[in-house]
Every structure is written in C-alpha cells, then in structure tokens.
Chains A and B, each alone.
Chain A
Amino acid sequence: MANHSQLGFQDASSPIMEELIEFHDHALMVALAICSLVLYLLTLMLLEKLSSNTVDAQEVELIWTILPAIVLILLALPSLQILYMMDEIDEPDLTLKAIGHQWYWSYEYTDFKDLSFDSYMIPTTDLPQGHFRLLEVDHRIVIPMESPIRIIITADDVLHSWAVPTLGVKTDAIPGRLNQTSFITTRPGVFYGQCSEICGANHSFMPIVVESTPLKHFEAWSSLLSS
C-alpha cells in the first residue's frame, strides 16, 4: 500500500508493473531533456532583443519537425512493447472472477470447486489495532504466488473498476461485459487496491485486498473455504 503523502509508484509486485515503472523513468528522463531545452530557449528569449527581420527559417522549421518526431518514437516504442506485453495471455493456472456491486466486491473461484464469497470493507469502528483504515476487508482474495492468474471482471449494477497498483492492474467492471486481465505476483505478500470508478456514495469504501501465498498455503485455504 502507499505510505502517507506518497506521490510515486508503489514497489512493483508483478513483472508488468516493473516494466511500467521502467517506462515511467524513461519518459521522465526524456521529459527532463525537453524541459532543459525549453528552459534554455525561454532564458535566451528573455535576454535577447526582439527582431522582426526574420523572413525565412527553413533550418529551424526542419529541426522542430524532426526532433519531436524522434521524441515520439523514443516514447512510442517502449510503450507499445509494454502494451502488447500486457495483452499476452500465458496459460493461466487459476481463473478468478471479480464482480463489482454497490458497494462491495464478490469473488468466485470456479476452476475446481465452486467457491465464492463477498468482500466487504471492515468499518473503522471494527478495525483491529494496527490495521489499515479503509483498506482492510473481511475476506481477502488468496492467490498462489509466481503463478499466472487470469481474472475476469464484471459488475452487477453500475460501473466499478478493479485496481491493485502494485500489480499494475486496473480494469473496468462494466455491467453486461466481461473484461479479462492477467497477472503474476513475483513475491508473497498482501496487496491493496481500491475501486477506481465512481459508483455512488460508498465508492471510496470498497477496497480490494489480494493475498499472495505459496501454493501449499493456497491449497490449504481453498480446502478450508470449501469445507
């Protein structure tokens, strides 16, 4: 989860998020170069006298056509690479369904057994000491770590959005439509997210908690749930 006053990304817990963070750093470096150039040109213009003698500027027009094209290519190529990487679907080990309601999420594991449960936010008054306000839920999603997971997202009533920043996942939950996304968690842990599409009065109070565990713990949990 994010620390207080955190502006930057959370640490990545999936390969896609690692790539997104790298691309973000790359884009910022290009932005720094452009800002330096613009700041220098602004300074020059403030220091020099204005002139109306210019009738022809072929060279500078060539430069300010070619240079932005190069910048766009520098940004577009890695961006497209990540875009296609996000659309790759490996053979998923597990398929999970997430359904958005006003104002909670429900999850279904239907690969092997019919497991389903609702996930409500724990109100602040009932929150145990040391837990995170507005982020904890009564039933977390548990998934095996380092396994490709496919998640199918939809909604029951209005638009919602299933988002977990540290996994690099944000997918709209649209009534009457199934949206599919996939991810792999690179490490065990508990990952928090929140609904990311305005959906009513309690839009801010329907968090998502994903718990990534080793496979044997996941199996133990699913056996417990099904019994």
Chain B
Amino acid sequence: MAGEGDSEPEKSFKLLGFLDVKNVPCARESVLYGSVGSLVVGLGHFLATSKYLHLLHLPVCLFVKIKSFIFSVSPCRVRRSCDFAVGGFICTMLGYWFYCRYNLAQQRIRQRMLKEGMRNKMLFEGSSFDPEKNQTGNERSNS
C-alpha cells in the first residue's frame, strides 16, 4: 500500500501501449535481443541474396562495394529481407523470452526452497530433526 512520504513509483514505458518493458522481468531484454535478431537476420538475408556477394571477398574499395550493392537492389529482395527481419524479430524475442522466464522460474523455486530451509533450520535447531545435528553425529560415529 502506498503511504505518505514514499518516493514516486517508477515510471513505466509501455510498448504498443500495453507491454510495460521496464517493470516486467525479461521484457526489456527480449525486445532488445529481438531487435538485434531482426537486424541480423534481415541484413544477413539481404547480403546473402546479393548478386555481388563475391565482391565481399575481393579487396575492392568500400565505395565500389556500396555502389554495387545499391544498384543490385530490387524491391522484391528488399521486401523478402523485411519479411525475414520481422520473422527474426518475433522468433528471437519469443525465444529469449522463454529462456529468460524459464531461468526466472527456476530461480524463484530455489528461493522458495532456501526460504523453507532457513525456516526449518530455525524451527528444528537443536531438536532431533536438525540435519546439522544428525550430520555431526554421523561424523563422530565415522571418526
């Protein structure tokens, strides 16, 4: 509950008006990785389908290379590369999202187990249920 004197709540940034990328765990990274993925896939497809791909391997000056690429551009190739870019964005974003949420879920489970373990430690300390007491007892019997 917000009380008086609390600092102003962190402002949110909502992508497309509904996804709060600042406050939702893994959202910001997913969108950023998705953007990078879309650039890589789109640009990669564009370069891979270039007629003048062989020029990349020659020691030709940069200006000639760029000029060649520009004149080899066809609208169909650009459109196809954009399609790949959007597909790359969606796949990378969702792929990282699942990976990050899976790790987050595992971390939360570990936190709960730790919390439960700490509570049980305090509860059972000194009693017959204390695992440390049983462990110490075993060490004494082994020595």
For the A-B complex with A32-B18, A36-B16 known, give 14 more contacts whose Cβ atoms are closer than 8 Å.
A22-B101, A22-B105, A25-B24, A25-B25, A26-B101, A28-B24, A29-B27, A30-B94, A33-B94, A36-B89, A37-B90, A40-B82, A40-B86, A189-B1
Contact for B90 among A25, A26, A33, CB less than 8 A: A33
Residues of B in contact (CB 8 Å), total 25
Residues of A in contact (CB 8 Å), total 20
Check A29–B9 contact: CB distance below 8 A.
no
Report B-chain residues with C-beta under 8 Å of the C-beta of A30. 94
| B19 at interface by CB-CB < 8 Å | yes
Which residues on A are within 8 Å of B, measured CB to CB? 1, 3, 8, 22, 25-26, 28-33, 35-37, 40, 44, 130, 189-190
| B81 at interface by CB-CB < 8 Å | no
Check B90–A1 contact: CB distance below 8 A.
no
State the CA gap A25–B27 with chains docked (Å). 9
Report B-chain residues with C-beta under 8 Å of the C-beta of A8. 12, 20
Shortest A100–chain B CB gap in Å is 25
Mark each residue of chain B from 14 to 39: 1 if its CB lies under 8 Å from any CB of chain A, else 0.
01101110001101001100000000
State the CA gap A18–B136 with chains docked (Å). 39
State the CA gap A32–B101 with chains docked (Å). 16
